[in-house]
Structure 1
């Protein structure tokens, strides 16, 4: 695996701590390093045209799709063609680089032992 540290700015740090959470589909304007302390997460990456981004709302980086496992295909027909990847981080210390503008969501599955 190649890691391109030059893409990571040292000027901006955001740290989020959550327990038992699910996030809607969204993208971030900056790169992220997601570190798994305990538990697992689920991340599909980018294909913006198929992710039904919000238009004209405050949260322009959020999708209209809230739960990617329960998408209404009649309402969001392009989503059926979306290509995504599952990434389950199952051990403490696992890390995933999420490039800027990549669509992703997370879902708590269970606490790892």
Structure 2
């Protein structure tokens, strides 16, 4: 078992561990509740950590996490209503129209 990274909060740590698990890399969140003692230990030591269970898959996990953290920005304009949509959405939040493939601002 090897530590992959420290997360800024429990929600992010859980998302990262779940992403890795979904990709076939067994991962766990450690120090999930250590934030409650942040006043007694340095705050950076109370942050949750993501650990990879199989030492041989550590580099694979690093690559998966790096790819997830560096997704390209997506900006597009809805052809139906003209709304500008930011983020990983494939559907316009305003009118519900689907994003055409290859459409970008």
Q: Which TM-score band (shorter chain)?
A: under 0.3
Q: TM-score, normalised by structure 1?
A: 0.23
Q: TM-score, normalised by structure 2?
A: 0.24
Higher strand proportion: 2
Higher helix proportion: 2
